[in-house]
Structure 1
Amino acid sequence: MARTGRRPGKQDTREAILRAAREAFADRGFDQASIRQIATSAGVDPALVHHYFGTKEQLFLATVGAPIDPGTLFPHVLEGGIEQVPERLVGTFVRLWDDPVLGSAAVALVRSALQHDWSARIVREFLTTQILRRVLNQLDLEPAEAPMRGSLIASQMIGMAMIRYVLKLEPLASAAPEAVVASLAPTIRRYLLDPLPS
């Protein structure tokens, strides 16, 4: 008897890789997951993973549904001295979230993280490995303090995103971007540069 239904094709293979990658990144984290493990779980050759997604980092961004590659944003944030990083970081963040297309994707990402434990783990990996690590590794910070500084900065940025873009609490929801930067950057500067409590 002939088989019916759609033959497995490119879309099926791509989705199988994405499913395996989501599980691997959620369970083992970005650093510990490997293309070979993901390929084995998806039942494909590792070369096929590279064919569809390129690098492990690009595969990770696809699993997260990241609206933009953070690597394209941070050279601007980090140029110049460390003193300007808070304003540039907050300004870049606000411009991304204010964009009608990119902002909608970012809101969807946060909402997903609030609804599912595996989504929360993936978003946590995204924040840690693709955003905070990129910024903190380029700054001359005490290595033992960098993780705490990064977590404190993330608490402010994600908190602002929740209030301004998800809950849309006024007057922050409709405040001018310049006002948001001016209000938030001093706190980011304190978390980045001031001595941490012992």
Structure 2
Amino acid sequence: MSLRDTAKHTARRCRRERDAVATRQAILEAARTLFAHDSYECVTIRDIASKAGIDPALVIRYFGSKEDLFLATLDKGNCSSLPGGESMGLGHGLIHHYISHWSKQDASDPLLIMIRSASSNDSSDILRQALNEQFLQPIAEQVGGPDGHLRAELALSQLIGVNIMRSLLHTEALSAIPDEQLIQIVGSVCQHYLSDELEETSTSKEEPIERR
């Protein structure tokens, strides 16, 4: 093969690789947008392909299945490297991470996608897997301790609540609050869950009051 033929072959290969990357990204963005607006079982491969402007067969070619594509839409801005490596300050780092990566105007917010499909029987196992791998486990590992996972769930429950109020219900006060103020307020609550002592409910029966 001549140098000219080699150059042409290399150029064609590079174009194919760029096209493949662009096609995969178009599918992923289309899926994120659709899953953020409807539940898992209501979004079809054909819907995603139409949104991306491609043939449905390409969706399967690039992602294998609807389940694998759904998982891929949740793999965005996870909590594996939050600011504040120690438990102190991690609560503010968590809400800061949320604000930075998942803007209230971002249609591809992973938590919003999860909320949309939370009641879907078809996606329940996928959601639990993604929630644990991308959110709960990374937070629990940074917090440490035997109750790290519980603390992570309590903190994340705050973010889910904020997400519902801001992104789904668009409540006036919470939607209007500046991000910096939201980080301080919600961050303090998250920090309480992540580092303060958690109250334990006593299971022992109270001693009867002695009558005189």
Q: TM-score range by the shorter chain?
A: 0.5 to 0.7
Give the secondary-structure state (helix, strand or coil) at the position aligned to 1:105.
coil
Q: Is the 8 A contact 2:87 2:194 kept in 1?
A: no
Give TM-score, length-normalised by structure 2. 0.58
Q: Counterparts of 1:87-106 in structure 2 under 5 Å? A: 87-98=92-103, 100=105, 103-106=106-109
Provide the C-alpha distance between the structure 2 equivalents of 1:153 and 1:110, rounded to a whole number of angstroms.
16
What is the number of equivalent residue pairs in this alignment?
145
Aligned to 2:179: 177
TM-score norm. by structure 1 comes to 0.62
- The change in CA–CA distance for 1:123 and 1:158 in structure 2 (over 3 A counts) is same
Q: Of the candidates 87, 91, 96, which is equivalent to residue 86 of structure 1?
A: 91
Structure 2 CA distance for aligned equivalents of residues 69 and 98 of structure 1: 11
Identity of counterpart residues, as a percentage? 19
Q: Does structure 1 conserve the Cα–Cα contact (< 8 Å) formed by 2:74 and 2:113?
A: yes
Instruction: String of CA shifts for 1:77-102, please: whole Å, max 9, x gaps.
Output: 244x43221111101101222264xx
Q: Secondary structure at the match of 2:170?
A: coil
Q: Give me the whole-angstrom Cα distance separating, in 2, the residues matched to 1:74 and 1:105.
A: 19
Q: Which has the larger radius of gyration?
A: 2
Query: How far apart, CA to CA, are the structure 1 residues paired with 2:115 and 2:152?
Result: 22
What do the CA deviations read for 1:117-170 (whole angstroms, capped 9, x no partner)? 23344233222111111122133x222x12211211121110111101111111
Candidates 150, 156, 159, aligned match of 1:157: 159
2:150 aligned partner, one-letter code: M
1:163/1:169 contact within 8 Å kept: yes
User: Structure 1 or 2: larger helix share?
Assistant: 1
For residues 124 and 173 of structure 1, the distance between their equivalents in structure 2, rounded to whole angstroms, comes to 28
